[in-house]
């Protein structure tokens, strides 16, 4: 098979203080698709600049197959069928929230199994929601400024009181942590109920009444998640947790 494999020429930066990660990924992807790779290293900045001028390109790595220039890493992914053509690619994705909710669910199941020897408990559901809140808060807290800017696109309270956008992630984190630990329900329940209700009303108005197509700040300020059902679900979970924890506190449970 090695004799009949197609040959690809790859030009990538391999310098003493920098090895281009996209070059390594391009080489690996070509080999996994059955190509024999002629791996050409650009060892200095001068070599790289000369290569870019010669081929009239602005970036490396660059891949050539049968004397045809395929392009950079993103172009190679399209050529090999890993990604759809650029005109068919979407700038939105549910992958971030799917990852967060999946990990939170597995953590909740693991905690329940460890504590109770079974996963079928109400505490599993409580942990799933509280852990989801906490992980989502972490995403927002990575860049509170950027989150608050994106949040202003649709949150009704933040539009009236701008600092609320920077307070929100901390409130979500505190409520999630306290609910996970089962501590201070007199604090965590009202916070979750308040931010969840304001958020749910804001998302419902923006998406289902105003029919606006926006991206959700639920996983941070650089989110590619579309505002819609997932965003509403996050807020409804906080409302349910607030009501549940609040009722248990009031009833002395």
Distances from the Cα of 210 to the Cα of 152, 202, 234, angstroms: 15, 10, 20
The string over 108-139, giving b where at least 16 C-beta atoms fall within 10 Å of a residue's C-beta and e elsewhere, is: bbebbeeeeeeeebeebbbbbbbbbbbbbbbb
**Each residue's pLDDT tens digit, 188-245:** 999 999 999 999 999 999 999 999 888 888 887 677 788 888 888 889 988 998 898 8
Three-class SS of residue 18? strand
Residue entry with tokens 């460890």: 114
- The model's confidence at residue 250, banded by pLDDT at 50, 70 and 90, is confident
Domain ranges of the chain: 7-88, 95-250
% of residues, the chain, pLDDT over 70: 96
**Superfamily of the domain at 7-88:** Glutaredoxin (3.40.30.10)
pLDDT at 220: 78
CA distance 245 to 194: 13
CA distance 130 to 79: 43
**Each residue's pLDDT tens digit, 125-178:** 999 999 999 999 999 999 999 999 999 999 999 999 999 999 999 999 999 999
* Range list of H helices, the chain: 21-32, 45-55, 73-79, 95-116, 122-141, 144-151, 156-160, 164-181, 185-204, 229-250
CA distance 219 to 100: 9
pLDDT at 234: 84
pLDDT at 90: 67
pLDDT at 1: 42
Q: Is the pLDDT of residue 4 over 60?
A: no
């Amino acid at each position: 098979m090695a004799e009949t494999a197609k040959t690809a020429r790859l030009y990538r930066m391999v310098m003493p203080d920098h090895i281009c990660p996209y070059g390594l990924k391009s080489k690996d992807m070509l080999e996994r698709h059955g190509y024999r790779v002629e791996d050409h290293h650009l060892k200095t900045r001068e070599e790289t600049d000369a290569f870019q001028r010669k081929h009239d390109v602005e970036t490396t790595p660059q891949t050539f197959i049968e004397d045809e220039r395929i392009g950079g890493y993103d172009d190679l992914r399209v050529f090999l069928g890993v990604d759809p053509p650029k005109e068919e690619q979407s700038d939105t994705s549910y992958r971030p929230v799917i990852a967060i909710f999946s990990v939170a669910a597995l953590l909740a199941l693991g905690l329940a199994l460890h504590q109770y020897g079974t996963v079928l408990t109400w505490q599993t559901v409580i942990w799933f929601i509280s852990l989801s809140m906490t992980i989502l808060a972490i995403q927002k807290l990575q860049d509170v400024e950027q989150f608050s800017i994106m949040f202003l696109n649709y949150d009704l309270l933040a539009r009236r009181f701008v600092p609320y956008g920077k307070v929100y992630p901390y409130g979500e984190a505190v409520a999630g942590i306290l609910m996970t630990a089962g501590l201070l329900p007199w604090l965590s329940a009202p916070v979750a109920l308040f931010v969840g209700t304001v958020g749910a009303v804001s998302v419902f108005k923006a998406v289902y009444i105003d029919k606006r197509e926006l991206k959700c700040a639920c996983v941070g300020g650089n989110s590619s998640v579309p505002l819609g059902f997932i965003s509403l679900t996050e807020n409804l979970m906080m409302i349910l947790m607030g009501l549940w924890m609040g009722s248990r506190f009031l009833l002395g449970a």
